[in-house]
Amino acid sequence: MVAVVVVASTAAVVLPSCGTEEGQGVTTVVESSTTTTTTTSPPAPTQEPPTTQVPATTVAPTTPDPLLPQQWAVSQLRLPEVWNRAVRGDDVVIAVVDTGVDLDHPDLVDKLVPGIDIVDGDDTPQDTNGHGTHVAGIAAATTGNGIGVAGTAPGARIMPVRVLGTDGTGTDEGIAQGIDWAVANGADVVNLSLGETGVLSRISKGGPLNTSIRNAAAQGVVVITAAGNEGTVKRNYRAGTPTLVVNATNPAGQLAQFSNSGDLRSVAAPGVQILSTAPTEPTSLWPSGSRGYELLDGTSMATPIVSGLAALLLSAGVQPATVIERIVTTADGAANPQLGAGVIDPSEAVG
């Protein structure tokens, strides 16, 4: 059962196809469409000094990221407050288990640790789809370097693990292999911006993904998983598997129209009109190449924000086994149960 990732040319979200009940299903990337655009800005001139909130002790001077004002999620979550407390996710490794990463992107290249390409069986997980590059930038784009965007965890590193091909599909076995490789090679956080139906439903039935996620958690790796974009209520998120599920919100703080929801143990994070890195070479999402930074919608975009938060917490000394609990218990206690425990509150979580 092949899942198709569609890229719409105008608005809104493209739903992933369902996984199968046969256990051999192909898993889809939870995809969204590109819509609005932003331009790649030139390096920012230095006429504006860095913000005065930077403590003199531990945070190096930086040049503002010119697209930061367009990153509504960063301001809504008040991430700079956390960064300015010298909590930046330094050296925490976030494995982006996805379509690969644009290994040459100027806002990512300095953040990469060695990865793997499970799809092609090599060690160059170059992204030919575009999705993984966007996810990676949300988690940990180079921040304060005077170009492009800021990441959620400015000090974290990105491990590119390619388990989904150009069309955004892959097998359970391949995803499991990617998770296993990441865990064996030093990942601290594993980001799974994959379809809920394609992944979590099968996790609940057992199988290689379940085994790999359990193994990751047992080894102190924090696994964060997208709720999926079917716009439906799912009640099997927990499924006894140690991963935190992420729903998507819009700028008004409401559940995004496309976002799955349904479990009080899930959390929500911004996932609409999220600006991040994109390959300039042609990919499936941007067949003519992107401008380097693009907007996407999806629980796929909300998930790496939470992975970035996990990295922030780890760098602040929170024990891996309690990271998920910390994120859940400090979420804003949503009035709307569709948001699970609510929108994440990084400042509160870091404490």
105 is an active site residue: no
Is residue 227 within 8 A of residue 264, CB to CB? The reply is no
Which one is catalytic: 65, 102, 107, 131?
131
Q: How far is the CB of 102 from Ca ion (least distance, A)?
A: 12
- Give 34 or 142: the residue with its C-beta nearer to Ca ion: 142
Task: Return the ∠ at Cα 112 (arms to 51 and 243), rounded to 5°.
Answer: 90
* Interaction of residue 122 with Ca ion, rule CB under 5 A: yes
* Interaction of residue 65 with Ca ion, rule CB under 5 A: yes
Q: Which of 181, 160, 193, 161 is nearest to 27 (CA)?
A: 193
Q: How far is the CB of 293 from Ca ion (least distance, A)?
A: 9
Place of tokens 């898993």: 27
Near Ca ion by CB under 5 A: residue from 31, 98, 102, 117 = 117
Q: Interacting stretch for Ca ion, rule CB under 5 A, among 42-50, 55-63, 76-84, 140-148?
A: 140-148
* Interaction of residue 104 with Ca ion, rule CB under 5 A: no
Near Ca ion by CB under 5 A: residue from 90, 120, 281, 332 = 120
Q: Interacting stretch for Ca ion, rule CB under 5 A, among 17-25, 35-43, 143-151, 163-171?
A: 143-151
- Would you tell me how many other CB atoms lie within 10 Å of the CB of residue 264? 15
| β-strands 157-162, 93-98 pairing | parallel
* CB half-sphere exposure, 87, CA atoms < 13 A: 23
In angstroms, rounded to a whole number, what is the distance separating the alpha carbons of residues 86 and 88?
6
Q: Which of 190, 172, 173 is nearest to 136 (CA)?
A: 190
Phi, psi (degrees; rounded to nearest 5) at 132: -65, -35
Q: Which of 83, 90, 73, 95 is nearest to 305 (CA)?
A: 73
Is residue 203 within 8 A of residue 39, CB to CB? The reply is no
Which one is catalytic: 32, 201, 284, 300?
300
Structure tokens that stand for 164 in this block: 């989904």
Q: How far is the CB of 128 from Ca ion (least distance, A)?
A: 9
134 is an active site residue: no
* Interaction of residue 107 with Ca ion, rule CB under 5 A: yes
Residue sitting closest to Ca ion (CB): 117
- Give 16 or 165: the residue with its C-beta nearer to Ca ion: 165
* Interaction of residue 148 with Ca ion, rule CB under 5 A: yes
* CB half-sphere exposure, 351, CA atoms < 13 A: 11
300 is an active site residue: yes
* Interaction of residue 36 with Ca ion, rule CB under 5 A: no
- Give 107 or 230: the residue with its C-beta nearer to Ca ion: 107
Which one is catalytic: 98, 107, 127, 263?
98
The residues of the shown chain that bind Ca ion, judged by CB under 5 A, are 65, 107, 117, 120, 122, 124, 142, 145, 148
| Positions marked catalytic | 98, 131, 300
